[in-house]
Amino acid sequence: MTTIDVRRADDRTFQRIDGIHSRFSFAFAGNFDLAAGAHGTLMVHNDDEIDSLMGVDPHTHTDAEIVTWVLNGRVEHADSAGHTGEISAGWIQRISAGKGIRHTERNPDPANKLHVLQMWAAPDTAGVEPEYAQTDLNDELASGELVTALSGLPGEDPGIGLHNRWTALDIARPRPGAVLDVKVAPFHHVFLARGSARVHIDAAEADSPVDLHPGDALRLTDAPAFQVEAIGEEPVEFLVWRMHAHF
């Protein structure tokens, strides 16, 4: 049976500390069991605005696949494994924390805010060597089609892998009126970053379609198929996690 869970932007919890304004699609701030609150293999989906020259001080992660997607601005990364990098809008970054990595993320721009999504997926193997990767997806996204940004699924090779063979992330910037088919999986998490979209769910029990606006999220379980339609004239951008396992 298909289950549909719509999480509206205004219902998210939020936190503002030291120049960072965060909105949480999953329980995050405080002492929470991230695995217990997960959907599929996705544990964290934070929507962060970071003031100029501000950021997160050095801190440690273990056994998490940490994915950062930039909506506006630039983010500067440095970690204890010697990796450094700077990414901007349309770039994606993946840190495999593995057995432990210490890092910082900062907004290096002296005048403009940084707007990023940070997402954590569980690895399927604990204690791997820490890794860092980043890539520019702007040219691929210009097609208007769904682009697989990263994946650990067998047979998928988008350029950035993931230490979870059950999980992939797709991103799209569809043209107005376009309808995109999403690949089938037992668990999906759809997040609308910009514009307006309509999700058509091919299930008898579904209250479909579901309209989404910026900051809205849709969690689906056992959807046989669904499509995302770009509605309105504003640019649309959305992310879909496809997951074939759950904690």
Question: Residues marked as binding?
Answer: 59, 61, 103, 105
**β-pairing, 55-61 with 42-50?**
unpaired
**Helix-strand-coil split of the chain, %, nearest 5:** 5, 50, 45
**DSSP H helices in 10-154:** 138-141
CA 236 to chain CA centroid, nearest Å: 15
Q: Which residues are annotated as a binding site for Fe cation?
A: 59, 61, 103, 105
**198: Cα within 13 Å, side-chain hemisphere:** 12
Please give the Cα distance from 160 to 176 (Å, whole number). Answer: 28
**46: Cα within 13 Å, side-chain hemisphere:** 21
Q: What is the DSSP letter of 213?
A: -
**Integer-rounded Cα radius of gyration of the chain:** 17
